[in-house]
């Protein structure tokens, strides 16, 4: 029998988004966000089944494959429940599903209900939770809110990533049904707490780094931080010159 999570570990896909990488050119305003940059952030909702392969949805792109995408970050997932909060606190006229650059906007799976290694059936595919999402500076630039990345970290409303265990078609409206939960102690919420709010605590970082189904980048980063007290957050969220 599966261990009981804080909430029911099942959900559904409210929206599915994909998009090609784009070059954004300056408009000449002189504002901090008005610069040349490349991004795969601008994704469009899909109304027909999409093929989910081992490195993500066919036709979806990332502008920076060094930090985004790949096997451990094949699918970006964000909770639909968080949108009510963001719409209440952000100075934006509209914030549609997909606004956080996610592939899947899902209901029923907030960060405290999902654990590293959770295995879900999804349409014709099988997916596994690999790590929390760590939003970079592009989220802030996309919405022209300079501290938005920091706000996401502070709230813990980060979303998470799937790796793909078995490929297949996926559609908006598909159900996510939990099949296995090997690490109930490592919820996404707990991982975020260790990464963002317990930076000086060596033991939790080391313990999490030993979780076999955590993504390689998180295992390496947590181990290095525990060994040397090094945090890479400043480099990740800093706006390029």
**Domains of the chain, start order:** 10-183 (2.40.33.20)
CB 221 within 8 A of CB 42: no
CB 138 within 8 A of CB 39: yes
Distances, alpha carbon 110 to alpha carbons 10, 51, 88, 132, 240, in Å: 10, 25, 18, 11, 31
Q: Which residues does 127 contact at the CB level (< 8 Å), separation at least 6?
A: 52, 74, 75, 119, 120, 162, 163, 164, 165
- Determine phi and psi for 13, rounding to 5 degrees: -85, 110
Cα gap 109→49, rounded to integer Å: 21
pTM to 2 decimal places: 0.91
| pLDDT reported for residue 235 | 47
Cα gap 34→41, rounded to integer Å: 16
What element of type H or E holds 209? helix 202-209
| pLDDT reported for residue 238 | 59
Place of tokens 């040397």: 228
Q: CB neighbours (10 Å) of residue 63? A: 18
CB 50 within 8 A of CB 173: no
pLDDT by residue, tens only, the chain of 241 residues: 444 554 457 899 999 999 999 999 999 999 999 999 999 999 999 999 999 999 999 999 987 777 777 899 999 999 999 999 999 999 999 999 999 999 999 999 999 999 999 999 999 999 999 999 998 999 999 999 999 999 999 999 999 999 999 999 999 999 999 999 999 999 999 999 999 988 778 999 999 999 999 999 999 999 998 887 644 455 455 566 5
* Dihedral of alpha carbons 197, 200, 201, 207, sign: positive
Place of tokens 């993504």: 215
CB 96 within 8 A of CB 78: no
Cα gap 56→74, rounded to integer Å: 4
Both structure tokens of 124 = 């014709």
What element of type H or E holds 208? helix 202-209
Can you tell me whether residue 112 is helix, strand or coil? helix
């Amino acid at each position: 029998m599966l261990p009981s999570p804080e909430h029911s570990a099942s959900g559904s896909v409210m929206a599915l988004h994909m998009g090609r990488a784009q070059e954004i050119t300056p408009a000449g305003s002189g504002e901090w966000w008005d610069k040349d940059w490349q991004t795969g952030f601008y994704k469009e909702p899909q109304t027909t089944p999409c093929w989910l392969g081992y490195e993500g949805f066919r036709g979806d792109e990332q502008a920076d494959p060094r930090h985004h995408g790949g096997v451990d970050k094949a699918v970006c997932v964000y909770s639909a429940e968080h949108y009510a909060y963001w719409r209440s606190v952000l100075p934006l006229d509209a914030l549609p599903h997909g606004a956080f650059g996610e592939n899947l906007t899902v209901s029923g799976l907030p960060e405290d209900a999902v654990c590293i290694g959770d295995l879900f059936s999804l349409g014709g595919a099988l997916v596994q939770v690999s790590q929390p999402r760590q939003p970079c500076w592009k989220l802030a630039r996309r919405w022209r809110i300079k501290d938005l990345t920091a706000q996401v970290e502070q709230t813990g409303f980060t979303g998470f990533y799937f790796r793909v265990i078995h490929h297949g078609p996926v559609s908006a409206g598909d159900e996510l049904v939990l099949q296995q939960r090997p690490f109930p102690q490592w919820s996404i919420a707990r991982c975020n707490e260790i990464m963002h709010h317990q930076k000086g605590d060596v033991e939790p970082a080391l313990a999490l780094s030993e979780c076999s189904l955590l993504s390689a980048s998180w295992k390496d980063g947590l181990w290095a931080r525990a060994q040397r007290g090094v945090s890479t957050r400043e480099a990740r969220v800093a706006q390029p010159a």
